[in-house]
Amino acid sequence: MRPILMKGHERPLTFLKYNRDGDLLFSCAKDLSPTVWFADNGERLGTYRGHNGAVWCCDVSRDSMLLITGSADQTAKLWNVQTGAQLFTFNFDSPTRAVDFGVGDKLAVITTDPFMELPSAIHIKRISRDPSEPCFVLLSASLLPAPATPLHLNMSRVAALDSSFPPSDSSLSSSLCNFFFSLISSASIIVSSRANPEGPQGRINRAVWGPLNKTIVSAGEDAVIRIWDSETGKLLKESDKEIGHKKTITSLSKSADGSHFLTGSLDKSAKLWDTRSLSLIKTYVTERPVNAVAMSPLLDHVVLGGGQDASAVTTTDHRAGNFSSGGEDGYVRLHHFDQDYFNIRI
């Protein structure tokens, strides 16, 4: 069956995310506007305008109300999924790469790239929906001095944001009016290669929450998977050099219940790990560099995507067969599985 071709982005795609119900698909690309689509028929619902750089990553809250995006414009932004309104902007001093909501959607992990003199870092932000909730620094322990932006400055920005969002009088978005955002961000830069020579070298391509928001799993250019304590910022576990990936980890995807995750790497393999113990469960070897991985929520299946870098594609003969430039053309392709697929018995 031919895929549904969803045209909307003008630059190569960077990230795709379904909401929990599976009816919405969010796409990020190197153009400035993350886009939301109806997952069923590929109809474009709208875009989120406000970023000023390539958008690398996004995540959507469990109730499909909040969208967080990370962009090369050195910000991560929170959006109202339904109206497309920008709710809050987290400012950083280097491009942000990965974003992920924790369980309960009250915490977000954001990674920033090494930039100028700055090393890569993982930030944890608290998102509060209730303005009366006391503002407290969730993560007190920090390896580095407190972030350059003083907390009160954040507060003032929040206030400014509030005033720009008077409670809507539209009856239709009543659910939204109650959704009064007061965003208190408390940050703790928990890792950076400068402060911590054992820490990640180079870019962190992906960081996700572990079970019960207790840990954070990160992976990136140095090919090492690390598990951090999300409260203290302490490094808990590191993947073994021998059994781990040999080249940049490009992609990381959690299972539905978060108990295991899959990593894809330029070393032409993908590996399945247990989130709690970081023990290697399986290795999937392919013939191409792996750029993206996904796990089926229904069956014990994984999907790996990849190929050569666009810059190296010219060296490949057209008959090499399974080479694909997927995503580079800015199209989202929506494939439907045949009914047979769901009846596969091994």
Using CB under 8 A, list all residues that contact other proteins. 62, 102-104, 106, 172, 211-213, 255, 257, 259-260, 274, 276, 281, 287, 300, 308, 312, 315-317, 319-321
Q: Where are the alpha helices (DSSP H) in 61-200?
A: 151-163, 174-177
Q: Is the distance from CB of 248 to CB of 220 less than 8 angstroms?
A: yes
DSSP state of 211: G
Torsion angles phi and psi, residue 342, rounded to 5? -75, -10
Burial class (CB in 10 A: 0-12, 13-18, 19+), 314: exposed
Residue 184's nearest CA partner among 270, 282, 258, 108 is 108
Identify which of residues 167 and 211 has a Cβ nearer to other proteins in the complex: 211
Q: Is the distance from CB of 82 to CB of 41 less than 8 angstroms?
A: no
Identify which of residues 116 and 346 has a Cβ nearer to other proteins in the complex: 346
Shortest CB 91 distance to other proteins, Å: 27
Identify which of residues 54 and 60 has a Cβ nearer to other proteins in the complex: 60
Contacts of 191 (CB under 8 A, 6+ apart): 120, 121, 122, 143, 199, 200, 218, 226, 228, 233, 235
Shortest CB 103 distance to other proteins, Å: 5
Shortest CB 212 distance to other proteins, Å: 5
Identify which of residues 160 and 312 has a Cβ nearer to other proteins in the complex: 312
DSSP state of 333: E
Residue 224's nearest CA partner among 276, 288, 267 is 267
Shortest CB 172 distance to other proteins, Å: 6
Shortest CB 236 distance to other proteins, Å: 16
Identify which of residues 134 and 321 has a Cβ nearer to other proteins in the complex: 321
Shortest CB 57 distance to other proteins, Å: 22
Rounded Cα–Cα distance for residues 329 and 60 (Å) = 24
Shortest CB 107 distance to other proteins, Å: 9
Identify which of residues 102 and 264 has a Cβ nearer to other proteins in the complex: 102
Torsion angles phi and psi, residue 144, rounded to 5? -110, 165
Identify which of residues 115 and 323 has a Cβ nearer to other proteins in the complex: 323
